[in-house]
Structure 1
Amino acid sequence: MEKKTENWRSPSLGKEMELTVYGKSGTPIIGLPTRGASCGQWEEFGMVDAISYQLDNEFNQLFCLSSIDTEGFLNENAAPSQRIVRQQQYESYIVEEVVPYIQEQNNINFIIIAGIDLGGCHALTTALKHPAAFGKVIGMSGIYDIKPFMDGFYNDDVYYSNPMDFVPNMSRQSLLERVRDIDFRLVSYEGDERKEDSLRMSNVMRMKFIEHDLDIWGESGDEWDLWPQMLKTHVI
């Protein structure tokens, strides 16, 4: 399949950011890695191979991003207030830089955003806050409550970056209508230490009448054996 690597200095993050593109055309997918990983993780661990048929036959085009979690949620050398600001900058990078880049490369006006672990959190949160930009969200073993990364710190920035908190209070009908148009997939598996987050997030979304697919796989085993198959199942 066609593969290329792009990079530019991100105005949102103030640093050089790299992404890898797989395939020539098709419905675009933004792929977000596990916490702190690079844009090469999905290829290294079989995620790209899992959807190679879709990429080779131009059903999908995949845009793999790098994480900045080591500068944000995982940065113990930064104050929690700085960590959450860095996360907001990453969200801006996705919405204000990556999405327009995809739109320049691809004329299909339907973007799937998929992520694993903290990448699942970023995928879901970004789509909930910017629903006009996305048509589908796939969260695999997502972490949807960020408060454990905040060391007890809490302010409006944390609230509006934490879907467990802000979704129950979403009341603007125009925003809710756009959110309800998105195809949400919350995927986990038995034995997954993050499964409870998917169950809790599902309950929150149900209270707001946000339709979604909660898919808890009965299989157990190595997560990197399961996640590629989850992606393949829910991309189609």
Structure 2
Amino acid sequence: MQERYIKYYSHHLGADNEILIYGHWGYPVIVFPTTMGRYYEAKDFKLIDAAKGLINDGKVKIYCPDSIDKYSWYAKHLHPSERIQNHIYYDQYLNEELIPAIQRECGVEKVAVAGCSFGGYHAANFAFRHPDKVSHLFTMGAAFDIRSFLNGFYNDQVYFNNPPDYLPNLNDANLWQMNIVLGTCNADFCRPETERLSGILKSKHIDHWLDVRWHGTHDWPIWREMFPEYLSRI
């Protein structure tokens, strides 16, 4: 399986960003790491190995960028307004630097996004904020409400990065074209959050699959089973 490492300076982040890319060809899938995870997390926890067949067959090409959670949502030493601003810089990096590079490299207009746990938040938030850039959204064991990170602080920037708040008011036609899978399992403590988001989508008549077939807890073994099945929908 082809693996490529890239490190480059991001003008929006004002720092170097690192990324691992898997596969020689295929539809691009961005996989976000879990809480404060690094770009190599999906490799270390065998999520990439779970999709090896699809990668080697040239069906998908997987991009694993770094997160900046320790400077945003989990930066408890910063005022909440600074945390949310740092996340906005990350969103700008994705939208204006990483995505255009992937579009050029793969010759596509849209990409797929995926993530487990807090990575699922990142995937969903990016997909709903930029539905013109995203064709597929796959979340596994995710929660989507970030208000608990901000000690009661709330402003427009929080609103526009909290899917349960802004999603009900979106009307971009691309949302109704997106292929969405929300995966969870019977004993996952994030299951209520996933079901809540599904309810919002259902109320807007946005087609999606709420996948609750799995038996297990909030952990990698379940996500490794989900991941290749969801990728096969591309």
Q: The TM-score by the shorter chain falls in which range?
A: over 0.9
Which SS does the other structure have where 1:124 is aligned?
Answer: helix
Tell me, in whole angstroms, the C-alpha distance in 2 between the residues paired with 1:125 and 1:110: 16
Contact 2:164 2:200 in 1 (8 A): yes
Which SS does the other structure have where 1:105 is aligned?
Answer: helix
Contact 2:54 2:60 in 1 (8 A): yes
Match of 1:197 in 2: 193
1:161 counterpart letter in structure 2: N
Tell me, in whole angstroms, the C-alpha distance in 1 between the residues paired with 2:109 and 2:55: 17
The aligned runs of 1:1-236 (5 Å cut-off) are 1-170=1-170, 172=171, 175=172, 177-221=173-217, 223-236=219-232
Contact 2:214 2:222 in 1 (8 A): no
What is the Cα deviation at residue 217 of structure 1? 3.1
Residues 156-179 of structure 1, C-alpha deviations (whole Å, 9 max, x = no match): 000010000011122x4xx1x111
Tell me, in whole angstroms, the C-alpha distance in 1 between the residues paired with 2:218 and 2:104: 37
Select between 211-220 and 10-19 the one with higher mean Cα deviation. Answer: 211-220
Name segments (4+ residues, structure 1) moved above 2 Å: none
Residues 179-210 of structure 1, C-alpha deviations (whole Å, 9 max, x = no match): 11101111111111111110000111111111
What is the Cα deviation at residue 130 of structure 1? 0.8
Residues 99-155 of structure 1, C-alpha deviations (whole Å, 9 max, x = no match): 111122212444110011121111111111111111000011111101111110000
What is the Cα deviation at residue 222 of structure 1? 6.6
Which SS does the other structure have where 2:229 is aligned?
Answer: helix
What is the Cα deviation at residue 221 of structure 1? 4.6
What is the Cα deviation at residue 90 of structure 1? 1.0
Tell me, in whole angstroms, the C-alpha distance in 2 between the residues paired with 1:54 and 1:61: 9
Tell me, in whole angstroms, the C-alpha distance in 2 between the residues paired with 1:200 and 1:111: 25
Contact 1:13 1:90 in 2 (8 A): yes
Contact 1:26 1:108 in 2 (8 A): no
Tell me, in whole angstroms, the C-alpha distance in 1 between the residues paired with 2:214 and 2:18: 36
Q: Quote the RMSD (CA, aligned, Å).
A: 1.2
Tell me, in whole angstroms, the C-alpha distance in 1 between the residues paired with 2:103 and 2:159: 30
Residues 51-72 of structure 1, C-alpha deviations (whole Å, 9 max, x = no match): 1001111111010111111111
How many residues of Structure 1 are paired with residues of Structure 2 in the alignment? 232
Tell me, in whole angstroms, the C-alpha distance in 2 between the residues paired with 1:109 and 1:49: 27
Tell me, in whole angstroms, the C-alpha distance in 2 between the residues paired with 1:221 and 1:35: 17
Which SS does the other structure have where 2:53 is aligned?
Answer: helix
Contact 2:187 2:218 in 1 (8 A): no
What is the Cα deviation at residue 218 of structure 1? 3.3
Contact 1:91 1:122 in 2 (8 A): no
